Structure formats: structure tokens, C-alpha cells
Amino acid sequence: MVGLLYSLFETGPKQFFLGTAGKSPNVVEQVWSSFTVTDGDTVHVAGERAGTRLVGFNTPETFSPECTHERQLGNRAKARLKELVSSPDVQLTKVACACPTGTEGTDACNYGRSCGVLKVDGRDVGQILIAEGLAVPFICRGDRCPRTPRPWCGQQS
């Protein structure tokens, strides 16, 4: 909670377009909301109970890092995500989480967070962070995810 409040005061809310995956391309539902950056792969949408885990990638941890190097990279990933979302063209699309049936929205699924894809100027932020060395691919299939990749402590320089 402290990290979330810190993030809110540190960055202020960011206005964005919220879409929903699976809608017909002919149906335009524009929902404007705001969010704050929690860390390199999580944002918190104003008015929602829990954050939104961005899918397709994993960034170094800032709240429970395994080493100092991971914390430093995590802070860089968070700062870069804040920089990316300063664009006027930001779109967050909520997608289904890869969790066992009946668990989405509970602590048993992604710590109660929803899942989403965040694009800036039409580009997936996960792909940008991966290309910049601030994230690694993390692809879930069906209702299962592989072990969360955390390679940063073995890459210390």
C-alpha cells in the first residue's frame, strides 16, 4: 500500500484510453480513466481495488528484489515506463489472465490483479522494455504460466 501511495504522489495520475479485448472492431467504447505506475510491469487504474499486471513480459522487482542489481534495474524499468506513458497516445486493453477457471480476481490468480496490454503510440510497452534490456519475455498459455523469470541477479556487472 505504501508503494502504491508513493507512486500516486510521485507520478500523479495519467489519463488513458481503456479498451476491452474481444469487442467487435465496429463497436467503439471509449472509456477514459487514469492510472499510476506501480512498477515496471504493473499499473493501477483509478477506482480499481487492485493493480493491472501487464502481460507478455516481466521486469525486475522493486518491492522484493533478490539482489541490489535487481532493485536498481527495477527502478530503471519503472522510470522508463513512466517516461513511456507520458505520451498522449496511451491505451490499456484488459485481457483475461492465465489462471485456473474461477480464480480470476482473487488472490489465487495474479494476487487479485487484472491483466492488460499497455500500448504507447501503438507499440506494446513490454516489447520496448525487452528491447531496452529492462524486461524479459514472460508468456503464459491457457490457464498456466511458467516460473516467473528473474535472471537479473546472475547478470551483475
What pLDDT, in 10s, does the model give residues 21-45?
A: 444 443 333 445 688 899 999 999 8
Residue 105 belongs to some domain of the structure = yes
Is 55 in contact with 140 (CB distance < 8 Å)? yes
- Looking at per-residue pLDDT, the higher value among 12 and 17 belongs to 17
Residue 40 belongs to some domain of the structure = yes
Mean pLDDT for the stretch of residues 1-24: 41
Q: What is the pLDDT of residue 140?
A: 85
Number of structural domains in the chain: 1
Question: For the chain, first and last CA: distance in Å?
Answer: 32
Residue 96 belongs to some domain of the structure = yes
Could you tell me the pLDDT band of residue 154, with boundaries at 50, 70 and 90? Answer: confident
The beta-strand segments (E) located in the chain are: 14-20, 31-39, 42-45, 52-54, 56-58, 90-95, 114-120, 123-124, 136-138
Instruction: Report the DSSP pairing between strands 42-45 and 136-138.
Output: unpaired
Assign residue 105 the CATH number of its domain. Answer: 2.40.50.90
Is 94 in contact with 77 (CB distance < 8 Å)? no
Mean pLDDT for the stretch of residues 111-119: 90
Residue 20 belongs to some domain of the structure = no
Residue 21 belongs to some domain of the structure = no
Residue 2 belongs to some domain of the structure = no
Q: What global pTM score does this model have?
A: 0.77
Compute the half-sphere exposure of residue 101: CA atoms within 13 Å on the CB side of its CA: 0
Percent share of the chain, pLDDT over 70: 77
Residue 128 belongs to some domain of the structure = yes
Q: Is the dihedral of CA 73, 112, 14, 132 positive or negative?
A: positive
Nearest to 39 by CA among 15, 65, 10, 60: 60
Domain of 73 in residue numbering reads as 31-155
Could you tell me the pLDDT band of residue 6, with boundaries at 50, 70 and 90? Answer: very low
Mean pLDDT for the stretch of residues 88-98: 89
Residue 7 belongs to some domain of the structure = no
